[in-house]
A = this chain, B = another copy of it.
Amino acid sequence: MDPTTLVPNNSLLTATPEEGRQLAVKMSRLIVKATQPDAQKREQLRDVYANDAGLLLAVTHTVAIEFATIAAANNYWK
């Protein structure tokens, strides 16, 4: 299996929605890392998607799905 740690602290539980949102961003980036281990290459690719409207929207799309899972895991921090 991939050596990359895919879930920081091995937990979906966070104190607040903000931390949950940051975890969602982090977890989606860790999948990019697991698929493309070369850090320099990833930097180049991040420059591509940070400057392309469609790819930026694809980032928001994945984060929205990851966040849905993390929010449910934390019972929406209610």
A18 / chain B contacts, CB cutoff of 8 Å: 5-7, 10
Residues 17-46 of chain A: 1 if any B CB is under 8 Å from the residue's CB, otherwise 0?
110111001111001101110000100011
Q: Do B60 and A64 have beta carbons less than 8 Å apart?
A: no
Q: Is the CB of A57 within 8 A of B60?
A: no
Known contacts: A60-B31, A73-B71. The answer to whether A10 contacts B17 by CB under 8 A is yes
**Given A7-B21, A35-B56, A65-B65, 14 other A-B residues pairs in contact with their CB atoms under 8 A:** A7-B17, A12-B17, A25-B34, A31-B63, A32-B56, A36-B56, A45-B51, A45-B52, A46-B53, A55-B57, A57-B58, A64-B65, A69-B76, A72-B76
